[in-house]
Amino acid sequence: MVEKEFELTKVLGEGNYAEVKLAKEKATGHMWAMKVINKKKLEPGDEEMLALEVEVLRTVQHPNIIHLYKVYDTKYKMFMCLELVTGGELLERLMDQGAYTEHDACELFAKVMHAVTDLHSRGIAHRDLKPENLLLANPGDPASIKIADFGFAKIMSKLPKNKDGKQLMMTSCGTPEYVAPEVLQNIGYDTKCDVWSMGVILYIMLCGFPPFYNDNIGKLFEHIMKKPHDYPSPEWDPISAEGKDLINKMMEKDPAKRLDAAGCLTHPWVGEDNSKVELHMSAEKLKHFMRRRELRKGIEAVQALKKMEHLMHAHAHA
């Protein structure tokens, strides 16, 4: 069926059990990205996550969320036909500008937060917001930013209620540098975990480096849970007090006190005409951050997650 409707050509990306191919729709000539999942390589629980990812993407229709066009499910393979994005990721876009302003960062941030607010209004948590999952559909068009990769997404209404009648997520997942403290504490968490992740991303956008960094994952998690973030000089000197205030409210360690996604959009920093001072130093720091990240890709994310699960298990029994 897929071959009748689409011509699959070059491989755009590969993962553990899937590859993404360029797909030309024969009837229209339109280009798509076809995610081809090899079901024989799936581990226990993976099929359930895939079904949830498809359900989430079918539920959501937002200009800043990747569009799922069609799904074909066969005995051994699943084909997900997705919107083709060719503009690279958010941080690459900022880096390629050479220098950018607080205003540039704010515009991009607001686009993403509109999409996050839409997800949360539907009771959907993304759970893996990071720069690699914020992509531009078209090169040079920041308005075309899209949230991608809903493999860890969760629909809150499907969760069992705890003794207080709350529906909370318990699974430790995400990417270490962007994960919220409550995810690490094994106490249950809600959609505000995404607000923390976006706070970390905004911090990086404004200064070019993350608020918490340590090659030792155990120490990194300890810092996320207990250490306050700061705004070192000179990189943070040109950034407005409002920008720092929004980050403080997004990276509040107690999720009950943290701003929700909609609250981020009504914060004064998002509504005002932000500084147009070029952040040359932030752009340089961002290049270093991106280079270091590329080097670290050799360390498998799977190892990091296994380490996370081990630490969470230990923390739960401490």
Catalytic residue among 104, 128, 190, 194: 128
CATH number at residue 151: 1.10.510.10
Domain around 268: 90-316
pLDDT of residue 17: 84
275 in the same domain as 136: yes
CATH number at residue 59: 3.30.200.20
66-70 long-range contacts (CB < 8 A, ≥24 apart) are 66/135, 66/146, 66/147, 66/148, 66/150, 69/32
Last residue of one domain, picked from the residues 47, 65, 83: 83
222 in the same domain as 268: yes
Q: What is the pLDDT of residues 117-141, one digit of tens each?
A: 999 999 999 999 999 999 998 887 7
133 in the same domain as 51: no
104 in the same domain as 23: no
pLDDT of residue 272: 75
Report the number of distinct structural domains present in the chain. 2
Last residue of one domain, picked from the residues 83, 102, 120: 83
Rounded to 5 degrees, what are φ and ψ at 73?
Answer: -115, 115
Question: Greater confidence, 39 or 301?
Answer: 39
For residue 133, the one-letter residue type is N
pLDDT of residue 294: 77
d(CA 236, CA 258): 22
Q: What is the pLDDT of residues 203-212, one digit of tens each?
A: 999 999 999 9
pTM attached to this predicted model: 0.88
Q: Between the CA of residue 25 and those of 77, 138, 172, what are the distances in Å?
A: 19, 19, 38
48 in the same domain as 135: no
The DSSP code sequence of 257-302 is TS--HHHHHTSHHHHS-----B-HHHHHHHHHHHHHHHHHTTS-HH
CB-neighbour burial class of residue 232 (10 A; exposed 0-12, middle 13-18, buried 19+): exposed
128 is an active site residue: yes
Q: How confident is the model at residue 318 (pLDDT cuts 50, 70, 90)?
A: very low
Are 259 and 249 in contact by the 8 Å Cβ rule? The answer is yes
Mean pLDDT of the chain: 87
pLDDT of residue 203: 97
Q: Could you write out the three-class secondary structure of 183-251?
A: HHCCCCECCHHHHHHHHHHHHHHHHCCCCCCCCCHHHHHHHHHHCCCCCCCCCCCCCCHHHHHHHHHHC
